[in-house]
Chains A and B, each alone.
Chain A
Amino acid sequence: EDKVVQSPLSLVVHEGDTVTLNCSYEVTNFRSLLWYKQEKKAPTFLFMLTSSGIEKKSGRLSSILDKKELFSILNITATQTGDSAVYLCAGGSYNTDKLIFGTGTRLQVFP
């Protein structure tokens, strides 16, 4: 059965710290790995990584995909209180248009 596992479940840091969120996946006929940020509302899209794009960066956020070891990481440098959210990871497959979501990592950034 396909699955996506995220770690840690939660993380508490101070502003300015750097954090690394982990996502391992087992997805049959893997096609993509997506990261979302969810504050007190709907998930918002951050990155999609595929065979042709295994590294993405946007400002203080960056992500890499390791297709050999079947994992991805999301890095956030110089964290701010506005980074506090649940970060969701999801896997996509060539077999289906559905995504398999992990249960998320809750990040809390304190001043």
Chain B
Amino acid sequence: NAGVTQTPKFQVLKTGQSMTLQCAQDMNHNSMYWYRQDPGMGLRLIYYSASEGTTDKGEVPNGYNVSRLNKREFSLRLESAAPSQTSVYFCASSEAGVRGRVTDTQYFGPGTRLTVL
């Protein structure tokens, strides 16, 4: 099992450009998440998806859109990149919602380091 995979690993954009970060998991998890991590700020949730076909805003959704393409894949799109979006982006997944036991553990992908000039 590859777990959670993300592409690309690194990306440099100019202000105003768009791009899509891809994430896939092979653990048959229900829930998927996108975080950004900035120095001193910890992990901040951008968007999450509790199941295929559903998405919800997290703490910092402005400037981003997401698509839960199927159970495996959850993409994050920057329509018009800004320097404030320079960050490391992590995708994560969890079983979540399994009855009878606590399934809060999230498993993280390797991250994408994005720089917006």
**Chain B contact residues, CB within 8 Å of chain A:** 31, 33, 40-45, 48, 50, 58, 90, 94, 96-97, 102, 104-111
Contact = CB atoms under 8 A, between A and B. Distances in A.
A43 interface: yes
Most B CB contacts (10 A, CB to CB) among A31, A97, A104 go to: A97
Contacts of B48: 97-98
Contacts of A92: 102, 104
A98 B109 contact: no
B42 A42 contact: no
Given A48-B105, A97-B31, A102 B97 contact: no
A98 B94 CA distance: 10
Contact of A97 (B40, B41, B104, B110): B104
Contacts of B96: 97
Contacts, number: 50
Contacts of B97: 97
Interface of A: 31-32, 34, 41-45, 48, 50, 88, 92, 97-99, 101-104
Contacts of A31: 102, 104
A99 B94 CA distance: 11
A99 B110 contact: no
A104 B38 CA distance: 12
Contacts of A34: 104-106
A101 B104 contact: no
A41 B42 contact: no
A48 B106 CA distance: 10
A45 B31 CA distance: 17
Contacts of A97: 31, 48, 50, 94, 96-97, 104
